[in-house]
Amino acid sequence: MSVSSSDKTLLGSAKSADDASRHETRRGVGYGVTAYALWGCFPLFFSLFDGVPAFEVLIQRILWSCAFLIVVVTLMGRWAAIRNGFPGPREAIRRLGWIMGCALLIALNWGLYIYAVETHRVLQASLGYFMTPLVNVALGMLVLRERLGRWQMMAMGLALAAVTLQLVLLGTLPWISLVLAMTFGSYGLLRKRVPLDALSGLLVETSLLLPLSLVALAWLTSHGQSHFGGSFDTTALMIVSGVVTTLPLLAFAGATKRLTLSTIGFLMYLNPTLQFLLALWVFGEPLAWPQLLTFALIWIGLGLYSVEAWRHHRKVLARSSARVPR
């Protein structure tokens, strides 16, 4: 049977579209790996602030992130999108309230993360970000009244067992891990209420934190406790912290446009994995067997969570395919 020229054209168009789709997916994976790899290497950057208190590093990070984000948002023409995110006085006030909550949560998360790096507790930071997906599940159940699947319930049980075991065996709670996971999980929950992309949202958040940061900086300066301007290296690092904060977000934005949520969810484990490896191989943090057991239980829980998420994704795809007319 011969193939007509019109059929050849259709086949060629379909192949071109398929090739273009695969190319965009590869680009999306590249962006995603870049974003999570940069986040995973943050301990290397913040460890350079030797002798600078975490609180001051946090202040400078907020200030310079806000400044750099203004430049990026202007170049990308996102101001209209930000204005559209706050329609009408009443709705704008309500959304500003939500985003102020986001700003406070991200400030606490950033500050505690910097503190963890400066006090050589990168393993705890890594554990916190491994726990975040499970915290998201717990928040969905408690706040949004979502029903959990069997695998999700088992994952939650393993996470609870991991924290309990560390408390019993070591006599201490992994409080840094818990607070990092809770603040980041709660941040994600609140951010869903404000229709802004990651870059625009962070600009609004840092802008809301800007007055408090300027007051804190003025207080440090007046009391002779500010390190800004004291040495070239420290001052340069403080300025660069804004760029370091923004670059992964730019890569992440490129990934979210090209990848499914399930793929992004898989890539996100790269961040705490890199932190875990850096803690052991670069910073030489000790890993006692109770801590290793805690990590192992969390990893098994994440495996169960991933299985449940993948099964749900397959069901959604199957239902979508069934609705397509043939």
Interval 262-297: pLDDT, tens: 677 778 888 999 999 999 999 999 998 888 899 998
Taking alpha carbons only, the member of 182, 188, 116, 161 closest to residue 299 is: 161
Is the predicted pLDDT of residue 31 greater than 90, yes or no? no
Q: How far apart are the first and last CA of the chain?
A: 24
Q: How confident is the model at residue 301 (pLDDT cuts 50, 70, 90)?
A: confident
pLDDT at 319 over 70: no
Q: Per-residue pLDDT tens for 142-165?
A: 887 777 777 778 888 888 888 888
Average pLDDT of the segment spanning 167-188? 88
User: pLDDT, tens digit, for every residue of 203-228?
Assistant: 999 999 999 999 999 999 999 999 99
Helices (H) and strands (E) in the chain, counts: 13, 0
Query: In the predicted model, is pLDDT for residue 179 greater than 70?
Result: yes
Return the percentage of the chain with pLDDT > 90, whole number. 45
Here the tokens at position 203 are 């600009």
**Residue 18: is it exposed, middle or buried by C-beta count within 10 angstroms (0-12/13-18/19+)?**
exposed
CB 98 within 8 A of CB 200: no
Q: How far apart are CA 185 and CA 203, in angstroms?
A: 19
The residue with tokens 């999306």 is: 28
